[in-house]
Amino acid sequence: MVEQDIIRMVNEVFNESFEIPEDKLVPGANIFNDLGLDSLDIVDLVVALQKKFAVTIRDDERVRTIRTLGDIHNFIQLIKKENKK
Amino acid sequence: MIRFLKLAYLNFTFYLFFILFSSAAVTSCGVGIVLSALVLSRRRVLRLLRRVICWYGTVIIRILPFPLVRIRYTNYASGEDQGPFIFVCNHRSSSDPFLMAGPCRPYECIQVVNVWPFRLPVLGLVAKIAGYLSVREMPFEDFLKTTSKLLAEGVSVIVFPEGTRSRDNSVGQFHSAIFRVALQTQRPIVPLCITGNERIPPVGSGILEPGIIKINRLKAVPWETYRTFTPFKLKNFVRGMIIQEVAAMEKAL
């Protein structure tokens, strides 16, 4: 899966699950301050990402370090790579 | 010079009477509540205590700082009676919780607060006994269970979903916990918009400044309106209503 596909699919998750408009979905956007998610929304986000990418990230400690949309793109890319191995 | 004198007068008289009134109120009401607990059911005692807290708040914010601090309350939901409600307020000042008696009357209410109000001497203990909730100290499942039970008993819930006071008068991002409760319990949500008390007192200070506090109670958002919303959409929907009203209130000042 190429980076552009990951970005598109992550953005789709934000659009479908949270109805956040495309123009706000820039890699530097802070998911808490700029996009308005809170800790409970993160649970919903994780569930939606797991479904979209067919991965298990719920218990991954690295989720806690995510702050920006760009962090999510990188994290999903990393998970995908790890799953390939 | 006149400003300084007003400030000195306001703070001296307010804090003097605050201490005197609070001491008298806590002592006399404390005795009253303990005595009533001997003859009334726990439910009725709690109802009484919550009413007493309401009156205490009214005296503290409406009477003690008057006439240098005035309150103007507008109710756009006049005639509406389908409580209990979930009252959702913007949060600018530590005086916000004291302002709730007016807009939330005649409903029996509890407030969802941050950790610090529970650490206040005496008042924190009274809030705890009255069933006020410290949302940061409880898992969401417990919060959902407790608030659902309260709403089912007819107790309205007052929430400041920004979680902390605004530092620049903007309305901060909302936490979704109470909106998840609303979706589950199907109770109407009443947005309360507060302006004018950002310096009564300012963040990080205890000094009250003279001013006019405006509170606008908007029409309730019924379950039928938000039933298809996600928690995220619902919190931003209500936040949008509050932002719009607060902007209009500030423009009118």
Question: For A6-51, how does the pLDDT look when each residue is reduced to its tens digit (9 = 90+)?
Answer: 999 999 999 999 999 999 999 999 999 999 999 999 999 999 999 9
Q: Comparing B81 with B64, which gets the higher pLDDT? A: B64
Radius of gyration of chain A (CA): 12
The pTM assigned to this predicted structure is 0.92
Contact B237, B226 (CB under 8 A): yes
Which chain B residue is nearest to residue A17, measuring alpha carbons?
B230
Q: What is the pLDDT of residue A1?
A: 63
Q: Which of B213, B219, B224, B215 is nearest to B187 (CA)?
A: B224
Q: Is the peptide bond before B97 cis (omega within 30 degrees of 0)?
A: no
Which chain A residue is nearest to residue B139, measuring alpha carbons?
A40
Which superfamily, per CATH, for B69-252?
Answer: Glycerol-3-phosphate (1)-acyltransferase (3.40.1130.10)
Contact B54, B106 (CB under 8 A): no
CB contact under 8 A, A38 and B176: yes
Contact B237, B98 (CB under 8 A): no
CB contact under 8 A, A40 and B231: yes
Domain ranges of chain B: 69-252
Q: Average pLDDT of B126-150?
A: 93
Give the whole-angstrom CA distance, residue B229 versus residue B184.
12
* Placement of tokens 């005649």 in the chain: B106
B141 contacts in A (CB within 8 Å)? none
The number of residues making up chain B comes to: 253
Q: Which of B171, B232, B235, B242 to mutate to test the interface with A (most CBs of A within 10 A)?
A: B232
Give the whole-angstrom CA distance, residue B123 versus residue B80.
32
Q: What is the pLDDT of residue B99?
A: 92
B211 Cβ neighbours under 8 A, 6+ residues apart: B68, B69, B70, B196, B197, B199, B200
Q: Which fold has domain A3-84?
A: 1.10.1200
- Of B177, B180, B232, which is closest to A18 when you measure between CB atoms? B232
Copy the structure tokens of residue B111: 């407030």
